[in-house]
Amino acid sequence: MRAVILNIGDEVLSGITINTNSSYLAEQLNKLSIQVERIIVIGDEEEAIKREINEFRNSDYDLLITTGGLGPTHDDITKEAITSALGLELVLNEEVLERINKYFYNDAPKSNLKQAYFPKNSVIVKNELGTADGVIIPHLGKHYMILVGPPYELYPMFENTCMKYLEKLQEEKTLITEYLVMGGGESFFEDYLDELLKGLKNVSLSPYASVGKIRFLLKAKEKDKQEYLSVKEKFESLMADYIVSTENEEVEEVLVKYLKKYDLTISIAESITGGMIASHLVNVSGVSKHLKESLVTYSDEAKIKYLGVSNKTLNKFGAVSQEVVIEMVAGLKEETNADIVVATTGYAGPDGEEDKIGLVYFGIIVNNKLHVFHKQFRGNRNMIRTRATLFTLFKVLSLIKQSVR
């Protein structure tokens, strides 16, 4: 199949809103071996939308995915413009209307009622996080997916409904495994996997790097299943110490799973990361039983007051040092007696000595055993802090795995 992505919205066209939807959708379609031929951005203008629909109708492309313009306001006209261009009639869907009324506790504004109208025989793409459901319209051999704009609503809608719909359309099944990999950079893994990558024939193994983590996508056609399984086995063996998840999870989700499985508690004292580690963990439901205590000890005074760090140690070695992070983690262990205790300190920049910017020390106690690491990260202030946060979560997860083997 060949696809076109049409992002609709004045806010996207003007640059006020960053267009992350196109990259997300292209990545998801790639997993299904659906080729994205064009990505287009237009404003909330009826004639512009109709022009793109007519051009798609006259093309040899198979799938059009639109994002944006399904809200309740006067300028949300995507669904109406597309169905008009296709010559289709919008009719009230009672089930969707009931959900909208329920969302507003049976007091839905009149402006939201237009969101309950869809063409007959279309597939509703349910929105669990808002009132704007999407819709899939099969029409004259082509497929139109009309989806919302906000990414936090779009992503689950696409993964829960649209992916399954598209999988059924594929003539040949695509075999896919997606890995979250941490503990090294893109170039490190390129060298590390060199022999495996050279031997690939009908299987693709592609890295997609982002700040602090990499996703590897292993993909092949059903007819190449044996080669796919062979590469999968070799990759997982080589990368055993680096693979965090094969279930499209973030590292904090996997870490919390381990905390739950082994009934472990964790306490954190953060300087450079300023609460980011705790914030990542709190993103995961159920962590409250395991996150015992979290402190942001950014200043020297806080390190002394709450963690018992010696003023003498601070004066002699400086706040960013192995000696200080050891006292930080030891003081937190004494204070909370958690099963896992973590401390971070470092230079986030951009002020300070250039050769020290990005230097971070980590202290981690697991099963009463102290582990100290230091690493220097590149990037701007926020990138350094994000990389330090994700590295910490990865190291804690790795140490737990080692301790329970």
pTM: 0.85
pLDDT over 90 (residue 316): yes
Secondary structure tally for the chain: helices H, strands E: 16, 17
- 274 and 222, same structural domain? no
The pLDDT, as a whole number, for residue 405 is 81
DSSP state of 284: S
Give the domain-ending residue among 135, 169, 203: 169
pLDDT digits (tens, 9 = 90+) for 138-173: 999 999 999 999 999 999 999 999 999 999 998 888
What is the token pair recorded at 38? 């064009």
pLDDT digits (tens, 9 = 90+) for 242-292: 999 999 899 999 999 999 999 999 999 999 999 999 999 999 999 999 999
- 202 and 75, same structural domain? no
Range of the domain at 216: 174-245
Q: Domain holding 83: CATH number?
A: 3.40.980.10
- 208 and 157, same structural domain? no
Strand 2-8 and strand 63-67: pairing?
parallel
Mean pLDDT of 217-231: 96
- 317 and 302, same structural domain? yes
Placement of tokens 């609503």 in the chain: 153
* Coil, strand or helix at 131: coil
Question: 173 versus 52: which is more confidently predicted?
Answer: 52
The pLDDT, as a whole number, for residue 374 is 97
DSSP character string of 31-95: HTTPEEEEEEEE-S-HHHHHHHHHHHHTSS--EEEEES--SSSTT--HHHHHHHHTT--EEE-HH
Q: Domain count for the chain, please give it.
A: 3
196 contacts 8 by C-beta, under 8 angstroms? no
What lies within 8 Å, CB to CB, of 381 at 6+ separation is 348, 349, 350
Q: Domain holding 393: CATH number?
A: 3.90.950.20
Q: Domain holding 183: CATH number?
A: 3.30.70.2860
- 165 and 198, same structural domain? no
Task: Please state, for a pLDDT cut of 70, what percent of the chain lies above it.
Answer: 100
- 148 and 178, same structural domain? no
Give the domain-ending residue among 208, 230, 245: 245
Give the domain-ending residue among 245, 268, 297: 245
Burial of 47 (0-12, 13-18, 19+ CB in 10 A): exposed
Using CA atoms, how far residue 364 sits from 278, 284, 330, 397, in Å, is 14, 21, 9, 11
Q: Using CA atoms, how far apart are residues 243 and 394, in angstroms rounded to an integer?
A: 10
The pLDDT, as a whole number, for residue 172 is 83
The pLDDT, as a whole number, for residue 48 is 97
pLDDT digits (tens, 9 = 90+) for 109-123: 999 999 999 999 999
Cα–Cα–Cα angle for 148, 153, 159, nearest 5°?
Answer: 95
- 300 and 383, same structural domain? yes
- 257 and 221, same structural domain? no
DSSP state of 272: T
How many residues are present in the chain? 405
Question: What's the pLDDT band for 238 if we cut at 50, 70, 90?
Answer: very high
Q: Using CA atoms, how far apart are residues 280 and 388, in angstroms rounded to an integer?
A: 12
- 255 and 218, same structural domain? no
* Coil, strand or helix at 347: coil
Q: Using CA atoms, how far apart are residues 104 and 80, in angstroms rounded to an integer?
A: 23
